[in-house]
Amino acid sequence: MYVGDVRGTIEGLLGGEAFFQDIDQRLAQGERYERGEASIHALARAWNVNVPDVLVDLEAMRIVRAPDVQRLSDEDRRARLAKLRGDRLVRGGEPAPDPDAVNRSVIASQRIEGIDARGHLRGMPVRERS
């Protein structure tokens, strides 16, 4: 059986040229990540997915950062430590709860325990039990 134009067949099945443009754009953004020019969170926002999904996609594209790209420069390290110290001093050493982290933790716990704890979170919808 002759398949013919493989790209044309794929375009017809997967949404046309836009599919390949999306793949090409993701590959280019992934290469920027590989060089250290883009963060994993920036890719997640651009691709409209969560960070674990970005990591799976990058792995599938065989895109990884070299250890030298992952390593902080002395200047970046000093800047990050100064920012952390400043934040700690402003708070007086008291904890600063992150509402997003609290929501993620509660949702993860409810999935593990098989309960619906969203009613305990402010602003979260509650699913009615049947």
Highest mean pLDDT among 13-22, 64-73, 120-129: 64-73
DSSP 58-75: HHHTT----HHHHSPPHH
The residue ranges of every structural domain in the chain are 6-65, 97-130
What's the CA gap between 39 and 95, in Å, rounded?
Answer: 27
| Cα of 17 vs its chain's centroid, Å | 26
Model pTM?
Answer: 0.49
Report pLDDT digits (tens) over 68-124: 887 888 999 999 999 989 988 988 888 887 777 787 787 787 777 776 655 665 554
